Structure 1
Amino acid sequence: MKTITTSLLLIITSAAAFAQTIEVRGTVNNQKGQPVPYAFVRDAQHNYATFADSTGTFMLKADPASALQVSACNYKETQVKIENKTNVAVVLPADAPQGGVVSLKSVKAEINDEFLHRGQLMFGGDASQQQVKSGFTQEATRGSRYLFPDWIPGFGINKGDSFVVEKSNMYNYDKISGNILYTNDGKSMAAVSNSQIKSFSLFDKRGQAHVYESSPVIKDKLFVEVLLSTPKYKIYKKSDSKLSRADFHTDGVLEMGHRYDEYVDNDRYYFVGADGKAQSISLKKSTLKKLFGGDADAFIASQGSKDVDDDYVRELGNSLAK
């Protein structure tokens, strides 16, 4: 796959990262009162940023003395002073049309990129049936090598701790290679360069941030997801997917195997402590108690019988950061 370096993206320099913060909630609408989905919202003076969801709603921790800087494709960038307000309504004026990313669901039949060929069309492949040499009708591919069902917004932090943002781009994560992919037209794509990016945040349709970084302790993936990060601990999630080919066969009486290709997922979790070494772990309360040496006990007790999953670990990280 061709790699396009992040020097092609817009780099925005941020100010000092340490400041008192408040939780600011708000909406982003256009001048007609219509929501602006996936608008990029950041503290103009610090490295605090998020994306609005599909309804234009956002929540961001920010410096109460700062301003919100808001941008979106086809709209003029706007700043709104926070002035200690915890609820902010942002109106984005229209700008000259710049196009945008069309959903892959509507254009996948038009995709013409070498990365998507070899029978691996994105998000399930060709829905039509195909006759194969072994004498059975092959069904549509199941699953996907890509983590998210469509393009989603995202931004990076470069090695100089500055924002890397391009409002016309949308992103996805390749579970096989560990690449973060981006597109500006929904028909072709390239990979973000891990040599220039310290971390990259992707925002799913529910507004959950998925943070990725290039980790020296997990060497077989370009980027891995960071579920928890403190000065003392890290927990990584490594998402893998493997293509299992159709293997249907029959002896004339019994039918065996599958009539379809399928992407089979396998997620693994790794804990990195003070020694800097990664150890494979399972997400269990007993495991977390042992690894965190009592630091997680109060949080675990407060969660009662709640199952340990990715969100649980993210919330644990937020609790330890306070």
Structure 2
Amino acid sequence: MNKIHIATIAFCIVATNALKAQTGISASGITSGTGMVYNLASKENTKGSRYLFDTWAKGYVVDKTGNTVKNDNYSFNYDKINGSLLLSQDKQTAIDVSKDQVKTFTVYDKADQPLNFEYVPAIDATHFVQALSTGSKYKVYKLTKTTLVKADFKSDGMTSSGNKFDEYVDEPGYYVIDVKTNGVQRWH
């Protein structure tokens, strides 16, 4: 067998065994995880996406101890519905990195601009929030929650209403944290 085929089999075995473990990340890389196959493409006639990007993005993670985990073989995406940071080595299967292992993560958009995210349980315990501004007195964050709205088209022959397509709808919310008091206020 050639080396590529052996490496593919080895990765599949690791991903399968990882289904049984808690996801972890450290300065040395992935320590364990739950592997799943992710299809980032939306179903035909579906508007929007549950994912931050329609393809895998480059980026890096700062773990809970402050160590930067950066590897050119890692690609990332963010699931806006369940708040999962997804890490992939083959852009087909990925692990859901445990929130308690991540302090921050950065991903780069198509224009190569960094998007910085933090886990701030005071704002939301299940989603990461995007850091828009971090000053010495205040921090401003954006929380995006996404819901799937199913097609609801109806017609009685005379009138029609609703949509013929499913749609992922983003609901952004903005928050300000006072650095001195750690007080959180929703900003409209």
Please tell me whether residue 202 in structure 1 is matched to residue 107 in structure 2.
Answer: yes
Task: Compute the displacement of 1:242 (Å).
Answer: 0.7
Distance 1:249 1:193 in 2: 42
1:280 aligns to what?
A: 186
Alignment of 1:209-288 (within 5 A): 209-273=114-178, 274-282=180-188
Check whether the contact 2:132–2:141 (CA below 8 A) recurs between aligned residues: yes
Task: Compute the displacement of 1:195 (Å).
Answer: 1.4
Aligned letter for 1:143?
G
Please tell me whether residue 157 in structure 1 is matched to residue 176 in structure 2.
Answer: no
Alignment of 1:44-59 (within 5 A): none
Check whether the contact 1:213–1:226 (CA below 8 A) recurs between aligned residues: yes
1:67 aligns to what?
A: none
CA 183–228 in structure 1, closer or farther in 2 if over 3 Å, else same = same
Say how many residue pairs are matched: 162
Aligned letter for 1:162?
N
Deviations 1:44-74 (A, max 9, x none): xxxxxxxxxxxxxxxxxxxxxxxxxxxxxxx
Please tell me whether residue 173 in structure 1 is matched to residue 78 in structure 2.
Answer: yes
Which of 261-270 and 154-163 deviates more? 154-163
Aligned letter for 1:228?
S
Task: Compute the displacement of 1:182 (Å).
Answer: 1.5
Aligned letter for 1:256?
S
2:25 aligns to what?
A: 6
Aligned letter for 1:279?
Q
Unpaired runs of 5+ residues, structure 1, are 12-111, 128-139, 283-322
Give RMSD over aligned pairs. 2.1
Normalised by the length of structure 2, the TM-score is 0.78
Structure 1 residue matching 2:99: 3-state secondary structure: coil
Alignment of 1:17-28 (within 5 A): none
Alignment of 1:61-140 (within 5 A): 113=37, 122-125=40-43, 127=44, 140=45
Check whether the contact 2:148–2:166 (CA below 8 A) recurs between aligned residues: yes
Normalised by the length of structure 1, the TM-score is 0.47
Structure 2 residue matching 1:195: 3-state secondary structure: helix
Distance 1:180 1:204 in 2: 15
Check whether the contact 1:123–1:146 (CA below 8 A) recurs between aligned residues: no
Task: Compute the displacement of 1:272 (Å).
Answer: 0.5
Check whether the contact 2:40–2:55 (CA below 8 A) recurs between aligned residues: no
Task: Compute the displacement of 1:8 (Å).
Answer: 8.7
Distance 1:161 1:232 in 2: 22
Please tell me whether residue 141 in structure 1 is matched to residue 58 in structure 2.
Answer: no
Distance 1:219 1:241 in 2: 14
1:191 aligns to what?
A: 96
1:182 aligns to what?
A: 87
Identity value in percent: 34
Aligned letter for 1:122?
L
Check whether the contact 2:27–2:69 (CA below 8 A) recurs between aligned residues: no
Distance 1:231 1:177 in 2: 31
CA 265–223 in structure 1, closer or farther in 2 if over 3 Å, else same = same
Unpaired runs of 5+ residues, structure 2, are 1-18, 31-35
Distance 2:181 2:23 in 1: 35
Structure 1 residue matching 2:137: 3-state secondary structure: coil
CA 280–256 in structure 1, closer or farther in 2 if over 3 Å, else same = same
Aligned letter for 1:10?
G
Task: Compute the displacement of 1:159 (Å).
Answer: 2.6
Q: Greater CA radius of gyration, 1 or 2?
A: 1
